[in-house]
Amino acid sequence: IAYEACRVDALPAEAHDLAMRWVVTDGALYPSIE
Protein backbone atom coordinates (compact mmCIF):
# COMPACT_ATOMS: atom_id res chain seq x y z
CA ILE A 1 0.00 0.00 0.00
CA ALA A 2 1.42 3.34 -1.01
CA TYR A 3 0.97 6.51 0.99
CA GLU A 4 1.57 10.09 0.02
CA ALA A 5 4.07 11.95 2.13
CA CYS A 6 2.34 13.94 4.80
CA ARG A 7 3.00 15.86 7.96
CA VAL A 8 1.73 14.28 11.14
CA ASP A 9 -0.08 17.46 12.14
CA ALA A 10 -1.85 17.51 8.79
CA LEU A 11 -3.46 14.11 9.30
CA PRO A 12 -7.13 13.74 10.20
CA ALA A 13 -7.74 13.44 13.93
CA GLU A 14 -8.73 9.78 13.51
CA ALA A 15 -5.28 8.95 12.20
CA HIS A 16 -3.66 10.08 15.44
CA ASP A 17 -5.60 7.38 17.28
CA LEU A 18 -4.43 4.56 15.04
CA ALA A 19 -1.59 2.34 16.13
CA MET A 20 0.94 3.20 13.44
CA ARG A 21 4.64 3.28 13.07
CA TRP A 22 6.04 6.24 11.18
CA VAL A 23 8.99 6.07 8.84
CA VAL A 24 10.98 9.09 7.73
CA THR A 25 12.02 9.08 4.09
CA ASP A 26 13.66 12.08 2.44
CA GLY A 27 12.60 14.21 5.36
CA ALA A 28 8.93 13.25 5.04
CA LEU A 29 6.86 11.07 7.33
CA TYR A 30 5.08 8.06 5.92
CA PRO A 31 2.64 5.88 7.85
CA SER A 32 3.76 2.27 8.06
CA ILE A 33 1.23 -0.38 9.01
CA GLU A 34 3.36 -3.43 8.26
Residue 1: count other Cβ atoms within 10 Å of its Cβ.
6
* Residue 12, CA distances (Å) to 8, 9, 26 in order: 9, 8, 22
- pLDDT value at position 14? 57
- pLDDT value at position 19? 46
Q: How many domains does the chain have?
A: 1
- Per the structure, the complete domain to which residue 4 belongs is given by 1-34
Residue range 1-34, pLDDT digits in tens? 455 655 555 555 555 555 456 666 666 766 665 5
Phi/psi-derived region of residue 26, left when phi > 0, alpha when psi is between -120 and 50, beta in every other case: left
pTM for the model stands at: 0.21
